[in-house]
Amino acid sequence: MIHSQLRSGYTTGACAAAGVKASLLFLCNDQRVERIELTALDGTALTIPIKAVERLDERTIRAEVIKFSGDDPDITNGASIITTVKLVEGDGIKFIGGEGVGRVTKAGLSVPIGEPAINPGPRQLIRNVVDEFDRSIGLEVTISIPNGVELAKRTLNPTLGIEGGLSIIGTTGVLRPMSEDAFKRSLVPQIDVALADGFRSIVFVPGKIGETIACRLSIPSGAIVQTSNFIGYMLEAAADRSVERVMLLGHIGKLAKVAAGVFHTHNRVGDGRLETMAAWAAAEGLDRKSVAEILSANTTEEAIGIINANGLQRVYNVIAARASARAQRYVFGRLTVGTVLAALDGTILGLDQNAQLIGGELHWDLRS
């Protein structure tokens, strides 16, 4: 059997550090290079091609590196990462966010408010590069991504409070193909930002439906956290950070799974949507024929139609309360959970008492 190993790449931070090294080689040694050898923060040896190096004046050099993400589906793959290195009086490095690099506007991230969104890992990589030359020199390092503003619209940056472009990221400098664990970890900073904004109650939305409804109900955007399918993981992250209350708000097709004790809600990992709806409808008095129709339905929307046709809309509140109870049990009672169930068209089907309390605290408007 032929084994195909996924290719690793390098982060935007590693690109910036390679650009700085290429610029310093040209500035200090009059040496123009086509590739840079770089040691990542985890000790991995990286070889990064340099697309261009040019002198802007006697103290300023600009270098361009093309981001390579390997087999990771990273939106910055192929983007130009441009570093401009300028010799200045004094010592130390001043980091500047150029075109397409965002600025931090909310607390809770690894970079203070007002700073360019150049994360600690890339900053350290660049310091290591500068130390290879002379620790005492003073530098201004400006990092730009020409199409960064447009690319940032496809990220969580606006939610996290990074405005005006992308972040220069990378824990080590090596970009390995995105694992599920890496994706889950990328969601957690939303919780930190919400806490830094002063929210002790937050709203988990597994997808676009929940987010749209939350906005329609006038729930503060700073309290809204996207979870994707990783509801259990995010509940644990919230509990570990002493979040007091979480509202689950989303389509019944996702949250009925939570009522059944399924906390990774991807359909290939866990399902039971129709079975859960059928079981609780039966417990509320639905006849056997209609229960069978729910079990053989193609979609949850079809199941909703059967429940509504039988006048059993109260079952949605029951399922919501069950989802909350299972979620609280999942984190051993370390936080309070409320649940709001919605249909595909955004109609709110049901909710429990905890959701009412959390929504009230967040000043939602149920009349919307």
What 260-263 contacts at long range (C-beta under 8 Å, 24+ apart), as own/partner pairs, is: 260/326, 261/326, 261/330, 263/231, 263/232, 263/233, 263/235, 263/327, 263/330
Binned at pLDDT 50, 70 and 90, residue 2 comes out as very low
The pTM of this model reads: 0.74
Position 1 in a domain: no
Position 2 in a domain: no
State mean pLDDT over 291-312.
Answer: 94
- Please tell me the predicted confidence (pLDDT) of residue 368: 67
Query: 187 and 117 share a domain?
Result: no
Statement: residue 3 has pLDDT above 60:
no
> What angle separates helix 252-259 from helix 314-330, to the nearest 10 degrees?
60
Position 272 in a domain: yes
Residue ending a domain, among 137, 155, 175, is: 175
Query: 228 and 264 share a domain?
Result: yes
Query: 156 and 235 share a domain?
Result: no
Query: 15 and 153 share a domain?
Result: yes
Position 3 in a domain: no
Binned at pLDDT 50, 70 and 90, residue 5 comes out as low
Distance CA 364, CA 293 (A): 36
Range of the domain at 156: 9-175
- Number of structural domains (the chain) is 2
**pLDDT tens for each residue of 313-349:** 999 999 999 999 999 999 999 999 999 999 988 899 9
Residue ending a domain, among 175, 194, 227, is: 175
Query: 161 and 218 share a domain?
Result: no
Reduced DSSP (H G I as helix, E B as strand, rest coil) percent helix, strand, coil of the chain, to 5: 40, 25, 40
Higher pLDDT, 2 or 263: 263
Position 310 in a domain: yes
Cα distances (Å, whole numbers) of residue 316 to 150, 238, 280: 40, 26, 9
Query: 204 and 91 share a domain?
Result: no
Query: 204 and 299 share a domain?
Result: yes
Q: Which strand (E) or helix (H) includes residue 226?
A: strand 224-226
Binned at pLDDT 50, 70 and 90, residue 71 comes out as confident
Query: 57 and 184 share a domain?
Result: no
Position 319 in a domain: yes
Residue ending a domain, among 175, 195, 230, is: 175
Position 282 in a domain: yes
Query: 103 and 23 share a domain?
Result: yes
The structure tokens listed for 162 are: 């990074």
Query: 357 and 227 share a domain?
Result: yes
Statement: residue 4 has pLDDT above 60:
no
Position 332 in a domain: yes
